Amino acid sequence: MQVRAIHLKLGRLSGVVKEALLFSYEVACEGTPLQGSRLCIEEIPVTVYCPACDAERALASIQHFRCPICDTPTPQIMQGKELEVAALEIEG
């Protein structure tokens, strides 16, 4: 049985950079059962809850925690902090 790929969800607010993770993945996997596997990263945008719109909205920028529609400030994060192994792709 061989792991072909790891599917990872990576939020923009996870504190982890996609490029850095991809760069180190191959080295980290050497000599482990994951050697030769792919790392598939799905980047998760940051969404917040806007109390004025009563709706979940995608942030235009993580430097600007305001509703992109009505400009109400909101600190309530709905998604974007993920650093999660979503799935493994296995063969054999």
- Number of Cβ within 10 Å of residue 80's Cβ equals 19
Mark residues 43-72: x for contact with other proteins by CB under 8 A, - for none. -------------------xxxxx------
Residue 62 is given by DSSP the state T
Backbone phi, psi, residue 21, to 5°:
-70, -45
Q: Which of 22, 29, 39, 74 binds other proteins (CB under 8 A)?
A: 74
* Minimum separation from the CB atom of position 31 to other proteins (A): 20
Residues 73/66, Cβ–Cβ less than 8 Å = yes
Residue 15 lies near other proteins (rule: CB under 8 A):
yes
The C-alpha atoms of residue 89 and residue 75 are separated, in whole angstroms, by 36
The number of residues that bind other proteins (CB under 8 A) is 27
* Minimum separation from the CB atom of position 87 to other proteins (A): 5
Q: Which of 49, 77, 78, 79 binds other proteins (CB under 8 A)?
A: 77
The C-alpha atoms of residue 17 and residue 77 are separated, in whole angstroms, by 19
